Amino acid sequence: MKRILSLAFLLFCFTQPISAIEFVDVTQQAGINYSANSFGSSWGDINNDGWPDLWLGDHIELPHLYINNRDGTFTDHLKTIIPGLIKSRDMHGAAFADYDNDGDQDLLILTGSNYGTGSSPNYFLVNKAGTLSEIRSPLNYPLGRGRTPLWFDWNNDGFLDLLAGNTPRPDGQAPTALFTQNQGEFIKASTQTGFTSAANNSFAQLFTIGTEYRPSLILNGAPFPDKLFAYDTLPFDELKNDYATTFSNLWNVRDAVIADLDGNQLPDIFVVREKQGAAELLQPEANQIAALLSVNGDEKSFSFQSNGSVEFQIYPFWHIGPNRIFIGESGINPNRYHSIFSLTSVDATGQYPHTAGVDFGVYISYDTDTQTWQVSVSSSSHFIFKLVIIGENSLESVTRINFGNTNLAQNDHLILQYESGFTDNTIAAGLQIPTPCSSVVAADFDNDMDLDLYLACQSMATNLQNILYENLGQGVFQLVDNAGGAGGSMNGLTDTVSTNDYDRDGFIDLLITNGHGSAPFADGPTQLFHNMGNDNHWLEIDLEGKKSNRDGIGAYLLLTTNDISQYRLQGGGMHRFTQDSSRIHFGLANNETADSVVIHWPSGTVQTLLNVPADQIIRVVESEGSTDLAPTQPDIPPETDGPAASNDGGDASDGGGGAASIYTLILLALLSGLGLGITQRKH
């Protein structure tokens, strides 16, 4: 469905041209050819070559696993990397992590236990030399109605534990649960930690609280947050009530960003919200109508005029079926099970008798006197009808009868963290415009040393233009026209947005999935937007834990240059249904060196790197104490061969896609008896 320009006009009224942030749609050039029902995306590095690969979830058919070819393109290698993966109709959120600390990234995919009415084991795929093999699941939770996993090491034993973010089942079984990893098996940790939740926890994220940077866990719910735990004590310290006033009215939260948005080295919270609607009818093209109508003991109708034949698409066909579609005064049923059929006015003269709000069905009629079509939907209990109508010619005089469109837009909220607590700073930040958005990310898209915001938006039956806010400094934002070129597809319904630097040029790119929900509105393309960049400098960091978990999840970093400090939290990249690239990115503006990078590892180790040159990707290996970095000349390793090949440090090939050559070095140093392993990729 076409993106509606009314939202674009609303945003234009509040927009001034301010930004050099520019995105270009490179989906086709990149070889990502996917347009269908989606369930999030996840970025990881399957073959350990230092280039991010892409998992695309699919709620209905087989997912896709795109391997980065290191030249700006991707190839789908699902069948070779996960041989024997069978189709599942209920795959949900996925997350990469090195759960077994063997140096490569494994993949966990949560399932929905047959829509919460049955049992379905989760997919636990272990990486062996670039091939993912399903093993007997060490996570025994087949009844869970899974949504989004979260890896983190709550007990700091060096092995990742798991939170399975679930939505409630009708029978109340298998709610969101926390599991501790013990010798490769995952065991429920509710008794030891005091962790419980029966809410709709579609996602959870890591957080730090206060200037002590207490490691914390925040769970989505209604209202948001459902839970806010500090997990540095046993049982966990529930902190939500300490901030009850700030969080009291955050209903209908769809996604959240955890990031330092005002530059005070403390993470803040930005949430996007979207109401559930009862009705929407739109006309995205002159010859099209898209309608989502929720009825509950009532009837909703609309009419239009048109010459020529009209095609009707009525969903969900598996619940309605042709015998519940009544055409004309005789109530003729269509002869196609999939409820897609074409009619002329002669076929539909008159309306089939029925009792509105009691009889269940779709009633299609044509009035020869007024030359008007009418479509009515009726049910005695709650039911959602989805319809697409396509005319041979234009559809005119489209009229809603006894209903109006639901406005899904709600005010998003920016909650800033200070030493004294939390404050809602939405209006002062310039973020007060109501939006109907379902996914959000933060990144320094222009590398100017502050974090910008990108919101992916939708309505009930069509897409809406996505939104880009540029951070003007200290947490004040301004809209960027047409989202800097990433306004998004006209087709489908926006599902999620994720961030990555797929070509390793130091500028953060965007991936949008547009297959939310079910037919007929979910058939939208996945889109990759390349960040065109500018002259600003940058630094990217991969972490490798030794005493801490291998991925360094739970670490936080403070980078300082010219007396300006930036905070980043290694949270594994998780938000609703989606995993951003976990590689840590800093914009450095016109600074060619980071004066210092201080890494606070989950183990308690504090590691300091000094005078780090800009425009490179470095791998920092956890040491046993504070160390300084003195860069040396690069050592170029051999090329890898094929999608499943691996080397220990990444490759030295030209990145293509506009990136300059990026080299790799391994620096091994002993400073005051302490070990430091650094891998650098020079830009």
pLDDT tens digits, 244-280:
778 878 999 999 999 999 999 999 999 999 887 889 9
pLDDT at 184 over 80: yes
| CA-based end-to-end distance of the chain | 41
pLDDT at 676 over 80: no
Q: Give the pLDDT mean for 85-93.
A: 80
At 86, is the pLDDT very low, low, confident or very high (cuts 50, 70, 90)? confident
What predicted TM-score, i.e. pTM, was given to this entire model? 0.89
* Percentage of residues in the chain having pLDDT higher than 70: 88
How far does CA 185 lie from the centroid of its chain?
A: 28
Q: Identify the pLDDT of residue 247.
A: 84
Q: Residue 13 and residue 31: Cα distance in Å, rounded?
A: 36
Q: Identify the pLDDT of residue 462.
A: 85
Q: Identify the pLDDT of residue 14.
A: 42
Q: Residue 189 and residue 181: Cα distance in Å, rounded?
A: 9
CB 164 within 8 A of CB 201: no
Q: Identify the pLDDT of residue 407.
A: 86
- Kindly report whether the peptide bond that precedes residue 316 is cis, defined as omega within 30 degrees of 0: yes
pLDDT tens digits, 402-457:
999 988 899 999 999 999 999 999 999 999 999 999 999 999 999 999 999 999 99
pLDDT tens digits, 310-346:
999 999 887 888 899 999 999 999 986 667 899 999 9
3-state secondary structure at position 251: coil
Q: Residue 186 and residue 141: Cα distance in Å, rounded?
A: 10
Structural element, H or E, at residue 539: strand 537-544
Q: What is the mean pLDDT of the chain?
A: 88
Q: Which two tokens stand for residue 625?
A: 């104490």
Q: Give the pLDDT mean for 541-548.
A: 98
At 625, is the pLDDT very low, low, confident or very high (cuts 50, 70, 90)? low
- Kindly report whether the peptide bond that precedes residue 223 is cis, defined as omega within 30 degrees of 0: yes
pLDDT tens digits, 585-602:
999 999 999 999 999 999
Q: Identify the pLDDT of residue 626.
A: 55
pLDDT at 641 over 60: no
pLDDT tens digits, 142-157:
999 999 999 999 999 9
pLDDT at 394 over 60: yes
At 134, is the pLDDT very low, low, confident or very high (cuts 50, 70, 90)? confident
Q: Identify the pLDDT of residue 88.
A: 65
Q: Residue 651 and residue 666: Cα distance in Å, rounded?
A: 12
Ordered domains of the chain (ranges, CATH): 23-275+407-531 (2.130.10.130), 280-401 (2.60.120), 537-629 (2.60.40)
Q: How many helices (H) and strands (E) does the chain have?
A: 6, 51
pLDDT tens digits, 13-65:
344 344 489 999 999 999 999 888 899 999 999 999 999 999 999 888 899 99
pLDDT at 564 over 90: yes
